Amino acid sequence: MVKQIGQPHRQVDLRSAKPIAKKADAELLTPEHRAWRTAVLQRAGYRCQAIEDGKRCHVSAPARLFADHIVERKDGGAPLDPRNGQCLCGSHHTLKTHAERVKRMAIKY
Ligand SMILES: [Zn+2]
């Protein structure tokens, strides 16, 4: 009879698909990234920089703002160059992120 105390063999590794996402997130938590984010938002005056119909978006702090990589990191954009950053509101950030994903997924003939 084997007594199963603690059941060490039943530990399930839940990390199978997660390390990549965790690594990407960790990069966003570094002091360097925070400084970059602050620089990008400050330069924008804490206001969304998206332009629609020739008019700049009016959303500004205290609304939630995103320091967005103009060329996304996964596309080779410089992660900590303020010139590769822009301040976006939530909806413009979502639109941009979606548009980039569509571009990335586009089939090239
Ligand atoms: Zn906006």
What's the half-sphere exposure (Cβ side, CA atoms, 13 Å) at 50? 20
Q: What amino acid is encoded at 33 in this protein?
A: H
The total number of structural domains that make up the chain: 1
pLDDT at 31: 95
pTM of the model: 0.72
pLDDT at 92: 97
In a domain, 60, yes or no: yes
In a domain, 84, yes or no: yes
**What is the 60 CA–ligand 1 centroid distance (Å)?**
8
Q: For residue range 9-52, what is the model confidence (pLDDT) as tens digits?
A: 666 666 655 555 556 678 788 999 999 999 999 999 999 999 99
**What is the 43 CA–ligand 1 centroid distance (Å)?**
15
pLDDT at 60: 98
**What is the 21 CA–ligand 1 centroid distance (Å)?**
26
Q: Give me the domain span that covers residue 64.
A: 20-105
In a domain, 39, yes or no: yes
> What is the pLDDT confidence band of residue 90, given thresholds at 50, 70 and 90?
very high
Q: How far, in Å, CA of 48 to CA of 19, rounded?
A: 32
49: nearest Cα among 3, 14, 93, 101:
93
In a domain, 9, yes or no: no
**What is the 50 CA–ligand 1 centroid distance (Å)?**
5
In a domain, 81, yes or no: yes
